[in-house]
Structures are given as C-alpha cells and as structure tokens.
Amino acid sequence: MASYNLFLLPGDGIGPEVMTEVENILAWFSAQGIARFEIDRGLVGGCAYDAHGKAISEEHMARAMTADAVLFGAVGGPQWDKVPYDARPEAGLLRLRKDLGLFANLRPALCYPALADASSLKREVVEGLDILIVRELTGGVYFGEPKTITDLGNGQKRAIDTQVYDTYEIDRIARVAFDLARTRRKKVSSAEKRNVMKSGVLWHEVVTRIHQESYADVQLEHVLADNCAMQLVRWPKQFDVIVTDNLFGDVLSDVAAMLTGSLGMLPSASLGAPDGKTGRRKALYEPVHGSAPDIAGTGAANPIAMIASFGMALRYSFDLGDWADRIDQAIAIVLAKGVRTRDIAGDRPANASTTQMGAAILEELRAFA
C-alpha cells in the first residue's frame, strides 16, 4: 500500500472545524487500505502567533518542506488585527507559498447540478460547468520591483508597481496548463493584455512557442484578459483551462468562483516545480475561503471546499485520481439528496452542520468501496 506524508495546518477560525472532516475521510482511507497517510499536524496563522510569536515557526516550515503535500485550512481573525505586520496570520501562508516555490495556483470552478440555481447566472449558463483557472502565483505585479510610493513634494505622490515576467516563469506555468489540459478536454485559453502591455507580448510569444514545440495535440487560443472576464460571465462553458498571470488570475478566478455559488464550495491547489529526482511537486491544498470568524464555533461551516481540496491532493500529489473523482461524485450525490449547510441552503433553513455534511460525504464514499 502506498504511503504518503501529509502535513496538516488547520489554522484559525473554521479551519480546524473543516479539517476535522478531512481527517475522518483520511482515517477511513487508511482503514480501507486505499493508501496509508502519515499525518503530521502543525500551527499556522494566529494560533501559531499565540504559541510562537510567528505566523509559522521554523520547525513547522521545515516539516512543510519535507511533506508530500500540505493541507491548509484558513488563517486570520479580528483578535490578530493588531499584531506586527510581519507576524500577521496571512504571513504564514505567504511564507509557505514562497519557500515551497508554489508558482502555479489551480482553481477549479465546478457547478454541481443541484446548486445551479444558487448562481447569479441562469441555470443553462452554469449547469455542468467544469473549468480550471491556472494562475501564476509568485511573479508579476504583486512582487515586481520597484514597488514604491514617492512624495513628489508638490502635494502629489507617485505610486509605482512593476509588472515583470521572465521567459522561464511563463514557460513553466504554460507547461502546467498544457499538461492539465491533456487530462481534461485538451483546450487552453491564454489570457493577457498584449495590446497594451509588454509583459503580455512576451506571455503570448512564450505560450505560443511552448504550444508549437511540445503540445500540438492541445488546442490553444489567446484571449485578451478583459474579454476573458466578459466571456466568463457570458458563456463560461466555452473554456476548459485558462492560464494567466498573477494579477489577471486573481480577478478572473474570483469571477469564475462566483459562477458556482458559495465560497464554502471552492477548493484550490498550489504547485511547485517537479523535483529533479522524484518528479514530485511540492504542493499545498487549501479552500479558497478564509477563517470565517462570523460563524466559527457554530457548526455552520461548509466543509466541502476543504474536502474538495483534499480531493485535489489525491489527484495531483498522490496519483489517486479515481478517488478524487469519487470524492467529487460523493459531493454531487449529497447535494442532489438535498443536504445543505447554511451557506448553500438558499431561502430554506440549513439541514446539516459541518459534521453532518462531512459524515454524509463519507457515507457516499463508503458506498464506492
């Protein structure tokens, strides 16, 4: 039986609540002999600050570096609003992304038929939607230098952010997108603004070359990022994989996310470069939502985003794609049966707590064994 080392960082607020539901599934996987997971747990975010004065300790960073995958809950909360900037809860996540070299952020937007009416778009536009946004995560305008605000001395200030991409950064994210498209419907849409940005010209050039050299079997289309936003709202099913830079990816993935309903439903994966020897990528899996302090401790949190993030870990880190599919199917069945936490209940009262939703999904998984 394959054995994997999984480092759990539940974090703050609802993070530990939704992580517990994944732990129940992990225990069942091990008991069934599907795979053995060596589980290690650590602190990140506000709870780590309370324990160590840092958003993540060096020891826990070192453990994250050696794990086969990191499962991350959520961080933050009002009680840590005034801690020093470098120790704020989010600094733990940023440190993990940076030190693990997680340059590729994968955000699926999947619309379960039972929830199609929860979208702000018409049912026929979103029902059956299954697209994947691949966002470059460690470069571009969020990190480029110079990044300054200068006092011009005449009552004016000047703010500068720098959008910068090197060939290798575009090359590696494009390969991730093409490789993923090969496992799906074999179409990549590359979004940039080459009409007004030099970084867009280089992006277009590099993606085109990688496609011609190595991925002729995948369909490639280029789309201007603003048009991509419009098309996502007009007819999102035209897309399969969208690859884009850090800034456009931030915006486009949020647009895509809202096509599908609640924040409590959205998983994500962040991947690093493949290891030269093993071919394995460093990886962190986390729900898109935050620590939801408004509902923490009430049992109202939807664990689906966290469970679906674990499903992504099965697919991308553990070669257990069949079980990742089964997790998606189990979620679809539970939703079709009408099980609803508060965030996806619409006008009706919720009929499931965090624990009940987790148990219902595990029950459906048992049926596949």
Q: Which residues are catalytic?
A: 142, 193, 226, 250, 254
What is the rounded radius of gyration, in angstroms, for the C-alpha atoms of the chain?
A: 21
Query: CA 269, CA 107: separation in Å to the nearest integer?
Result: 7
- Residue of 4, 25, 8, 5 whose CA lies nearest to 285: 8
142 close to 252: Cβ distance less than 8 angstroms: no
**Contact assessment for residue 363 and residue 74, using Cβ atoms and an 8 Å cutoff:** no
DSSP 163: -
Q: Which of 244, 231, 96 is nearest to 163 (CA)?
A: 244
Residue 8 or 295 with smaller CB distance to ligand NAD:
295
Q: Which CB atom, from 191 or from 360, has the smaller least distance to ligand NAD?
A: 360
Q: Which residues bind ligand NAD (CB under 6 A)?
A: 14, 74-77, 90, 93, 263-264, 286, 289-295, 301-302, 305, 343
Smallest distance, Å, CB 212 to ligand NAD? 37
Omega before 10 cis (within 30°)?
no
- Nearest distance in Å: CB 300, ligand NAD: 6
Candidates 347, 331, 314, 339; CA nearest to 29 is 314
Please provide the distance, in angstroms rounded to a whole number, between the alpha carbons at the two ends of the chain: 16
Which CB, 75 or 313, lies closer to ligand NAD? 75
CB of 339 to ligand NAD, least distance (A): 14
Q: Which is nearer to ligand NAD, 236 or 303 (CB)?
A: 303
Smaller CB separation from ligand NAD, 39 or 263:
263
Catalogue the E-assigned strands of 225-358: 241-244, 267-274, 281-287
174 versus 335: smaller Cβ distance to ligand NAD: 335
Burial class (CB in 10 A: 0-12, 13-18, 19+), 204: middle
Burial 255-269 (b: 16+ CB within 10 A, else e): bbbbbbbbbbbbbbb
**Shortest Å, Cβ 128 to ligand NAD:** 23
Residue closer to ligand NAD by CB (options 190, 291) is 291
DSSP assignment string, 21-49: HHHHHHHHHHHHTS-EEEEEE---THHHH
* 272-301 exposure pattern, b = at least 16 Cβ within 10 A, e = fewer: beeeeeeeebbbbbbbbbbbbbebbeebbb
Smallest distance, ligand NAD to C-beta of residue 313, A: 16
User: Closer to ligand NAD at the Cβ: 282 or 289?
Assistant: 289
Strand partners, 108: 132
Report DSSP state, residue 338. T
Tell me 117's DSSP state: G
